[in-house]
Chains A and B, each alone.
Chain A
Amino acid sequence: MIHFIAGVVTSANYWFIVLRSTAPILLVTLGAVITAQAGIMNMALEGSMLWAALTGVIVSAATQNVWIGLLAGIGASVLVALVLGLFALKLHANPVLSGVALNLVATGGTVFVLFSLTGDKGISSSLASKVLPSLSIPVVKDIPWIGKVVSGQNIVVYIAAVSVVVIDLILRRFAIGRRIRATGENVEAARAAGINPVRIKFFTLIISGILAGFAGCFLSMGYTSNFTSGIAAGRGYVANAAQVVAGGTAVGSIFAAMLFGLTDAMATYLQNIGLMPELIQALPYAVTILGFVVVTFVRDRREAERKRKLFAGTAMQKEKADAA
Chain B
Amino acid sequence: MNYIVRTEKLSKIYPNGTFANKSVDFAVMEGEIHGLVGENGAGKTTLMKMLYGEEQPSQGSILIDEKPVSLASEFDAIKAGIGMVHQHFMLVPSLTAAENLVLGKEPKRKRTRTFDLAAAVSITEELSKHYNLPVFAKARVADLSVSMRQKLEILKALYRGARILILDEPTAVLTPQETEELFVELKTLKQQGKTIIFISHKLKEIFNLCDRVTVMRDGRMIATHNVADVDVHQISNEMVGREVRFEIARPPMAPGEPALRVRELSYVDDFAIPKLKHVSFTLRRNEILGVVGVDGNGQTELVEIITGNEKALSGKVFAYSTEVTNRSAGFVRRCGIAHIAEDRMTVGTALPASIEQNLLADRYRNRQFSTRAGFLRSREMAAYAGRLVHEYDIRCNSANQPVASLSGGNMQKVVVAREFTANASILVISEPTRGVDIGAIEYIHTKIMEMRSAGKAILLVSSDLQEVMALSDSLIVMHEGEIVAYFPDAAAVTDKELGLYMLGIKRQSDEELRKVLHE
> B112-157: which residues lie under 8 A (CB-CB) from chain A?
112-115, 156
> B76-124: which residues lie under 8 A (CB-CB) from chain A?
78, 84, 86, 88-95, 99-100, 103-106, 108, 112-115
B404 on the A face (CB < 8 A): no
Q: Say yes or no: A314 contacts B90, CB within 8 Å.
A: no
Cβ-closest chain B residue relative to A193? B104
Q: Say yes or no: B268 contacts A189, CB within 8 Å.
A: no
Residues of B within 8 A of A190 (CB): 92, 103-104
B3 on the A face (CB < 8 A): no
Q: Say yes or no: B115 contacts A193, CB within 8 Å.
A: no
Q: Say yes or no: B266 contacts A311, CB within 8 Å.
A: yes
A85 on the B face (CB < 8 A): no
Q: Which of A173, A193, A318, A322 is B114 in contact with, Cβ under 8 Å?
A: A173
> B158 CB to closest chain A CB, in angstroms?
14
Contacts A175-B115, A178-B115, A182-B95 known; A194 to B74 CB distance under 8 Å?
yes
> B277 CB to closest chain A CB, in angstroms?
6
Q: Say yes or no: B104 contacts A179, CB within 8 Å.
A: yes
Q: Say yes or no: B272 contacts A193, CB within 8 Å.
A: no
B313 on the A face (CB < 8 A): yes
Q: How far apart are the CA atoms of A174 and B115 in the complex, in Å?
A: 5
Residues of A within 8 A of B91 (CB): 186, 189
Residues of B within 8 A of A192 (CB): 74, 84, 86, 90
Q: How far apart are the CA atoms of A30 and B105 in the complex, in Å?
A: 26
- Chain B's interface: helix, strand, loop or mixed, by majority? loop
Q: How far apart are the CA atoms of A178 and B141 in the complex, in Å?
A: 14
B228 on the A face (CB < 8 A): no
> A193 CB to closest chain B CB, in angstroms?
4
> A273-324: which residues lie under 8 A (CB-CB) from chain B?
303, 306-308, 310-311, 314-315, 318, 322
Q: How far apart are the CA atoms of A178 and B90 in the complex, in Å?
A: 14
Q: Which of A173, A181, A315 is B92 in contact with, Cβ under 8 Å?
A: A181
Cβ-closest chain A residue relative to B112? A173
Residues of B within 8 A of A188 (CB): 88, 90
A177 on the B face (CB < 8 A): yes
* Interface flags, A166-205, vs B, CB<8A=1, else 0: 0001000111011101100110111111110000000000
> A257 CB to closest chain B CB, in angstroms?
24
Q: Say yes or no: A310 contacts B272, CB within 8 Å.
A: yes
B387 on the A face (CB < 8 A): no
How many cross-chain pairs have Cβ atoms below 8 Å apart between A and B? 86
Residues of B within 8 A of A185 (CB): 92-95
Q: Say yes or no: A182 contacts B114, CB within 8 Å.
A: no
Q: Which of A173, A174, A189 is B103 in contact with, Cβ under 8 Å?
A: A189
Could you say which of B75, B104, B160, B273 has the most chain A C-beta atoms within 10 Å of its C-beta? B104
B363 on the A face (CB < 8 A): no
> A172 CB to closest chain B CB, in angstroms?
8
Contacts A192-B74, A322-B510 known; A310 to B268 CB distance under 8 Å?
yes
Q: Say yes or no: B268 contacts A307, CB within 8 Å.
A: yes
Contacts A186-B90, A311-B266, A322-B510 known; A175 to B272 CB distance under 8 Å?
no
Q: Which of B75, B95, B113 is A194 in contact with, Cβ under 8 Å?
A: B75
> A299 CB to closest chain B CB, in angstroms?
12
> B142 CB to closest chain A CB, in angstroms?
10
B274 on the A face (CB < 8 A): yes
Cβ-closest chain B residue relative to A184? B92
Q: Which of A175, A306, A308, A314 is B106 in contact with, Cβ under 8 Å?
A: A175
Contacts A193-B156, A194-B74, A195-B103 known; A311 to B92 CB distance under 8 Å?
no
Q: How far apart are the CA atoms of A314 and B278 in the complex, in Å?
A: 10
Q: How far apart are the CA atoms of A322 and B510 in the complex, in Å?
A: 8
Contacts A177-B115, A311-B274, A322-B510 known; A186 to B105 CB distance under 8 Å?
no
Q: How far apart are the CA atoms of A294 and B156 in the complex, in Å?
A: 41
Q: Which of A181, A308, A318, A322 is B95 in contact with, Cβ under 8 Å?
A: A181
Q: Which of B94, B105, B114, B273 is A310 in contact with, Cβ under 8 Å?
A: B273
Q: Say yes or no: B114 contacts A174, CB within 8 Å.
A: yes
Q: How far apart are the CA atoms of A189 and B104 in the complex, in Å?
A: 10
Q: How far apart are the CA atoms of A195 and B113 in the complex, in Å?
A: 18
Contacts A182-B95, A318-B277 known; A193 to B113 CB distance under 8 Å?
no
Cβ-closest chain B residue relative to A192? B90
> A38 CB to closest chain B CB, in angstroms?
13
Q: How far apart are the CA atoms of A191 and B88 in the complex, in Å?
A: 13
Q: Say yes or no: A193 contacts B268, CB within 8 Å.
A: no
> A318 CB to closest chain B CB, in angstroms?
7
Q: Say yes or no: A178 contacts B99, CB within 8 Å.
A: yes
Could you say which of A181, A190, A192, A306 has the most chain B C-beta atoms within 10 Å of its C-beta? A192
Contacts A185-B92, A192-B90 known; A314 to B103 CB distance under 8 Å?
no
Residues of B within 8 A of A191 (CB): 74, 90
Residues of A within 8 A of B103 (CB): 178-179, 182, 189-190, 193, 195
Residues of A within 8 A of B95 (CB): 178, 181-182, 185
Contacts A188-B88, A194-B75 known; A311 to B268 CB distance under 8 Å?
yes
Cβ-closest chain A residue relative to B78? A194
Residues of B within 8 A of A186 (CB): 90-93
Residues of A within 8 A of B92 (CB): 181-182, 185-186, 189-190
Q: Say yes or no: A193 contacts B90, CB within 8 Å.
A: yes
Q: Which of A173, A189, A308, A314 is B277 in contact with, Cβ under 8 Å?
A: A314
Can you give 27 contacting A-B residue pairs, CB < 8 Å? A173-B112, A174-B113, A177-B115, A178-B99, A179-B103, A179-B104, A185-B93, A185-B95, A186-B90, A188-B90, A189-B91, A189-B103, A190-B104, A191-B74, A192-B90, A194-B104, A194-B160, A195-B104, A303-B270, A307-B274, A310-B268, A310-B274, A311-B266, A311-B277, A314-B277, A315-B278, A318-B277
Q: A residues touching B (Cβ–Cβ < 8 Å)? A: 169, 173-175, 177-179, 181-182, 185-186, 188-195, 303, 306-308, 310-311, 314-315, 318, 322
The 10 closest A-B pairs by CB, nearest first: A193-B104, A175-B106, A192-B90, A189-B90, A194-B104, A193-B103, A307-B268, A307-B272, A173-B114, A306-B272
